[in-house]
Structure 1
Amino acid sequence: MKLKVSIQKLGKFFLQPLWFIIGIWLLSRGLILVGMLGIAPLLEAPSGGIKTEWGWEVFSAWDSNFYQEIATANYNGVGTLPGANVAFFPFFPLTIRIVMGLGVSAEVAGTLINNLAFLGTLFIVFHWVKRTNGIKTAQWTTTILAWCPLSLFTAVVYTEGLFLFLSTASLWAFDRQSYLQAALWGMMATATRITGLALIPAFFLTAWYKRIPITAYVTSFGSALGVLLYSGYCWMQFSDPLAFITVQHTQWNRSRGIDWQGWGTMLVEITTGRSQWHYESLWDLLHPFLLLLMSVIAYGLWHYRDCLGETCFDYSCCGLLFLLWLLIGDPLLNTISVLGGIYLLWHLRNKLNFVVVAYGFSSLGLLLVSGGTISLSRLAYGIVSLNLGLGMLLSSNPRWGYAMVGFCTVLLVSFSIRFAQHLWVA
């Protein structure tokens, strides 16, 4: 009896907002560390990857190298020709350089900044959603934000944690009518990542739609100062105020506008399989057969959902989606992240704050016209609107939430191992 009472008290203690947020943050960081420093060093070097060794270097790979290069040696270029790292915005490298003044390496500085900023994001999201939609929705939103497998990028030397913090703080301040704060946070967000530009139309449209005073419009323009300052630097350094966009077309091989070829490739990969999309004819019918079989099963589940019962139907659909991911992989995640995100925001448009919906659609629009399809799932994860919508959806469908947490646990550890081995994740 005493043990039962003690467990109940412990449960109530950890359900308190402060400890719930810290606990979720620590558990997600723990899963990432288990994958990166617990499992990965025990494995042999994979093809195309490296043997994982203990050390802070495990948190640095792929884009991390560009941020560290900027922090330690500034942007590169030849004369007025900008270098490849000009595509990466300056605020995150600037914060790394500041923290490096304490005598730590770029890897340590970047990792600490990203993790602590993400903890700040969880605090803001929890209290914001609690005020607007209740504590249950706040708990689900915070959990899914921390447990998403792409939260790996809030634990390594990437901008995800910092950008989520700055953009969320700006939106939260605007929702509370603290327009000066919203402009300051927004300015830092637009100096961190190009998708921060979505704050500008989001604030402007919300001010117009809700007939908010002129100060709200000033917030929209104030948020643009971050990207304008970086644009001014590019103008002085490379004689091109849009050098950060120019290098994406000249050195990163991105197309202009919507990458129709990339989206077409993903569609073919989904329907016929990744290994044969570039062939003129199908040489392996297993993938399309399995996809057709899953479609038939999905139709059967929907048709007989009343006979199966709500619980059986929900978990059967979750299992089918897991098998679908095993069959298709990244193309499915990229497609669902963007197209599914558009549907999610439209479905919940009357339940979410208008500024949240406007920011979500603006951000997804930027992703669609970015000229590429690489890393779409990771970039979509950095749109807080989608996380708010998903948390709201799962709070009213907890069975889907439990299944998603289990699925995300597997992926989070798997992604962490791959990142530590310098294999492509997202």
Structure 2
Amino acid sequence: MKIKPLNFQPPLSRNRLLFVAGMWLLSRLVIAIAMLMIAPSLPAPPGGFAPIFSWEVFSYWDSGWYEQIARSGYEYVNDNNGHSVAFFPLFPLVISGVMSLGVPFAVAGTIVSNFSFFVALLLLYLWVEESHGINAARWATAGLAWCPFSLFGTVIYTEGLFLFVSIAALRAFDKEEYFWAAFWGMLTTATRVTGAALIPAFLLVTWREGRVVRGYFVSMVTSAGLLLYILYCGISFGEPFAFLLAQKAWQPRQSFFGEAWLKMLVKIVAGTANCKAGFIKDPWHPILFLLICACAYLLWRNRVKLGSVKTDYGFCTLVIILWLLAGSPLINTVMIFGGGYLLWYFRNKLRLVAASYGFFSFALFLASGRTVSAERYVYGIVSVAIALGLLLARYPRWGYPTMGFFAILLASLAVRFAQHLWAG
């Protein structure tokens, strides 16, 4: 099989590089200022603490597991508790390689995350411009860079690396560069279990578009990252699916499928305090929610009289008020269900491989019933970012307030992470 060289078309011009670098640098500066300057100056919150100016601020929660793997390898015992085997090997392996140069873990992990995220933004821009034009490319790149969950492309998490290798695999397959699609696809399935969505996506596109047999071969090679990890778990721990069993420790038990989703919606409508209490302890939350809904209905009903500008900014104002009222449950719900709706709405505009990958990714994590960090998993589905780019390219007036709101949320989430509070 002849190997096609990596082909950056359209050419990687100075303007393209400057735009991507600008989006990456400005959004990362917001995170750095929030985590290294704002968070240390605030008093320690309940359940958290005031951080100090240090590289360690980027290393918390799951980062500790990656440090354990990078330093001493995997461990697993079938005792229904969390173990390092739940985390896939590529990310800690790359960090370990950087650490071998004498770089401390916190520095090495931050470098790997941020460099990977920058390359992911660059590849996304090039792919979307090739497929949908420059405006969609700019909005998709800006959306991925400024989305509040892009925080996890800077702290020591797998988001940056996963986006990098998955975008590279999808773009190469779309351009029929099968060797590179197989290579990047194999790395994707070695980074996260959700990378397995590439396998049926490549199979479906090969069948639907009548591609050569090499398309099926790419799907088989893509699974190698996952299969090798299954083999490793079987040999090392006597349990091929140890990573799945270990991940159950982070999944809260549910009385019925969808219970966690229902609780999230109740928190938005009735309030977190009322949801925890089991009765209406604070009547103001549901009253204010109903008032916001009434205002939204009146705004929509009178949209012709008010005009498109007043209507759009009126809805933006109501969204901010609703966020101040409902907080994280609102953002997480919109990220999950809004991302799914965007994917469905633009399914015929997206490249078939992007749409297929998006739908299989959603099916994979919805079937698991997992709700913990579900918003981060949706963020890692690049097809959603492309759909957002198409939407904002069509309605650019929505784009600027959206990016501004994203920046506020990004800074807020960065402060929470630095304070060791749950951020996603």
TM-score range (shorter-chain normalised) is: over 0.9
Structure 2 residue 68 is matched with structure 1 residue 69: yes
How far off its partner does 1:253 sit? Answer: 3.9
Asked if 2 retains the 8 angstrom alpha-carbon contact of 1:198 and 1:366, the reply is yes
Structure 2 equivalent of residue 341 of structure 1: 339
Structure 2 equivalent of residue 362 of structure 1: 360
Distance in structure 2 (CA, Å) of the matches to 1:414 and 1:395? 27
Distance in structure 2 (CA, Å) of the matches to 1:82 and 1:268? 29
Structure 2 residue 71 is matched with structure 1 residue 60: no
Distance in structure 1 (CA, Å) of the matches to 2:14 and 2:135? 11
How far off its partner does 1:256 sit? Answer: 8.8
> Which range moved further: 332-341 or 115-124?
332-341
> CA 1:97/1:257 → structure 2, altered by over 3 Å: closer, same or farther?
farther
> CA 1:343/1:80 → structure 2, altered by over 3 Å: closer, same or farther?
closer
Asked if 2 retains the 8 angstrom alpha-carbon contact of 1:234 and 1:243, the reply is yes
Residue-by-residue CA offset, 1:225-250 (whole Å, 9 max, x unaligned): 1011111111111211111111122x
> Which range moved further: 281-290 or 111-120?
281-290
- Return the TM-score normalized by structure 2: 0.93
Distance in structure 1 (CA, Å) of the matches to 2:95 and 2:311? 48
> CA 1:257/1:20 → structure 2, altered by over 3 Å: closer, same or farther?
farther
Structure 1 equivalent of residue 286 of structure 2: 288
Structure 1 equivalent of residue 7 of structure 2: none
Structure 2 equivalent of residue 395 of structure 1: 393
Distance in structure 1 (CA, Å) of the matches to 2:91 and 2:50? 28
Report the secondary structure of 2:421's partner residue.
Answer: coil
How far off its partner does 1:102 sit? Answer: 0.8
Structure 2 residue 152 is matched with structure 1 residue 153: yes
Matching residue's letter, 1:364: F
Structure 1 equivalent of residue 376 of structure 2: 378
Structure 1 equivalent of residue 136 of structure 2: 137
Distance in structure 1 (CA, Å) of the matches to 2:126 and 2:85? 36
Structure 2 equivalent of residue 206 of structure 1: 205
> Which range moved further: 279-288 or 165-174?
279-288
How far off its partner does 1:74 sit? Answer: 0.9
Distance in structure 2 (CA, Å) of the matches to 1:46 and 1:270? 23
Residue-by-residue CA offset, 1:309-344 (whole Å, 9 max, x unaligned): 111111111111111122112222222222212211
Asked if 2 retains the 8 angstrom alpha-carbon contact of 1:258 and 1:372, the reply is no
Unaligned runs of 5+ in 1: 1-13
> CA 1:82/1:287 → structure 2, altered by over 3 Å: closer, same or farther?
closer
How far off its partner does 1:372 sit? Answer: 2.3
Structure 1 equivalent of residue 167 of structure 2: 168
Task: Tell me which of 318, 324, 327 is aligned to 2:325.
Answer: 327
Unaligned runs of 5+ in 2: 1-12
Report the secondary structure of 1:277's partner residue.
Answer: helix
Asked if 2 retains the 8 angstrom alpha-carbon contact of 1:203 and 1:220, the reply is yes
Asked if 2 retains the 8 angstrom alpha-carbon contact of 1:360 and 1:383, the reply is yes
Task: Tell me which of 407, 414, 417 is aligned to 2:415.
Answer: 417
> CA 1:132/1:279 → structure 2, altered by over 3 Å: closer, same or farther?
same
Matching residue's letter, 1:292: L
Asked if 2 retains the 8 angstrom alpha-carbon contact of 1:114 and 1:159, the reply is yes
> Which range moved further: 77-86 or 416-425?
77-86
Asked if 1 retains the 8 angstrom alpha-carbon contact of 2:20 and 2:121, the reply is yes
> Which range moved further: 323-332 or 237-246?
323-332
> CA 1:381/1:325 → structure 2, altered by over 3 Å: closer, same or farther?
same
> CA 1:238/1:259 → structure 2, altered by over 3 Å: closer, same or farther?
farther
Matching residue's letter, 1:302: W
- Identity between Structure 1 and Structure 2 (%): 48
Residue-by-residue CA offset, 1:68-118 (whole Å, 9 max, x unaligned): 111111112349998612111111000011110110011111110110011
How far off its partner does 1:192 sit? Answer: 0.6
Structure 2 residue 309 is matched with structure 1 residue 311: yes
> CA 1:91/1:259 → structure 2, altered by over 3 Å: closer, same or farther?
farther
> CA 1:326/1:139 → structure 2, altered by over 3 Å: closer, same or farther?
same
Distance in structure 1 (CA, Å) of the matches to 2:203 and 2:88? 23
Distance in structure 2 (CA, Å) of the matches to 1:149 and 1:79? 35
Asked if 2 retains the 8 angstrom alpha-carbon contact of 1:82 and 1:243, the reply is no
Structure 2 equivalent of residue 84 of structure 1: 83
> Which range moved further: 259-268 or 78-87?
78-87
The total of aligned residue pairs comes to 412
> Which range moved further: 47-56 or 90-99?
47-56
Matching residue's letter, 1:66: W
Report the secondary structure of 2:181's partner residue.
Answer: helix
Report the secondary structure of 1:77's partner residue.
Answer: coil
How far off its partner does 1:209 sit? Answer: 1.3
Asked if 2 retains the 8 angstrom alpha-carbon contact of 1:173 and 1:181, the reply is yes
- Return the TM-score normalized by structure 1: 0.93
Distance in structure 2 (CA, Å) of the matches to 1:47 and 1:152? 22
Report the secondary structure of 2:353's partner residue.
Answer: helix
How far off its partner does 1:370 sit? Answer: 2.5
Asked if 2 retains the 8 angstrom alpha-carbon contact of 1:259 and 1:373, the reply is no
Residue-by-residue CA offset, 1:342-389 (whole Å, 9 max, x unaligned): 211111011110111111111111221233211111111111000010
Residue-by-residue CA offset, 1:237-289 (whole Å, 9 max, x unaligned): 1211111111122x334559984221121122122111121444323221111
Asked if 2 retains the 8 angstrom alpha-carbon contact of 1:80 and 1:238, the reply is no
Distance in structure 1 (CA, Å) of the matches to 2:78 and 2:170? 39
Structure 2 equivalent of residue 180 of structure 1: 179
Structure 1 equivalent of residue 107 of structure 2: 108
> CA 1:257/1:182 → structure 2, altered by over 3 Å: closer, same or farther?
farther
Report the secondary structure of 2:250's partner residue.
Answer: coil
